[in-house]
Amino acid sequence: MVDDRFAEARRRLILEIEQEAAVTEPWTGRSRFAPAVMAAIARVPRHEFVATTERDIAYANRPLPIGHGQTISQPYIVAVMTDLLDIAPGDRVLEIGTGCGYQAAVLAELAKEVFSVEVVPTLAAAARERLIRLGYRNVSIRVGDGYDGWPEHAPFDGIIVTSAPPRIPDRLAEQLRPGGRLVIPVGAAGETQMLFRCEKTSDGAITKEAKLPVAFVPMVPAGPAVE
Instruction: Write the DSSP assignment of 48-116 as a string of letters.
Output: GGS-GGGGGGTTSSS-EEEETTEEEPPHHHHHHHHHHH---TT-EEEEE--TTSHHHHHHHTTSSEEEE
Residue 226 pLDDT: 40
Residue 13 near residue 77, CB atoms below 8 Å = no
Rounded Cα distance between 127 and 142, Å, is 10
60-68 mean pLDDT: 90
How many domains is the chain partitioned into structurally?
1
Helix axes 7-23 and 35-43, enclosed angle (nearest 10): 150
Q: Both ends of the chain: CA-CA distance in Å?
A: 31
Residue 157 pLDDT: 98
Residue 69 pLDDT: 77
Does some domain include residue 172? yes
73 is catalytic: yes
Rounded Cα distance between 145 and 148, Å, is 6
**Which of the 8 DSSP states describes residue 189?**
T
Residue 220 pLDDT: 85
Does some domain include residue 160? yes
Residue 223 pLDDT: 59
46-57 mean pLDDT: 93
Does some domain include residue 197? yes
117-135 mean pLDDT: 97
Does some domain include residue 13? yes
Cis amide linkage into residue 155, ω under 30° from 0: yes
Q: Which domain holds residue 138?
A: 4-214
**Which of the 8 DSSP states describes residue 190?**
T
Does some domain include residue 227? no
- What is the amino acid identity at position 9? A
Q: Given CA atoms 130, 72, 89, 144 in this order, what sign does their dihedral have?
A: negative
For strand 193-200 and strand 206-214, is the pairing parallel, antiparallel, or unpaired? Answer: antiparallel
Q: What is the CATH number of the domain that holds 134?
A: 3.40.50.150
Phi, psi of 89 (to 5 degrees): -55, -30
pLDDT tier at 70, thresholds 50, 70, 90: confident
Query: Closest Cα partner for 221 from 118, 137, 107?
Result: 118
Residue 221 near residue 197, CB atoms below 8 Å = no
How confident is the model over 172-204, as pLDDT tens digits? 999 999 999 999 999 987 788 999 999 999 999
Does some domain include residue 108? yes
Q: Given CA atoms 14, 18, 23, 26 in this order, what sign does their dihedral have?
A: positive
Does some domain include residue 225? no
Does some domain include residue 209? yes
- What is the amino acid identity at position 220? V
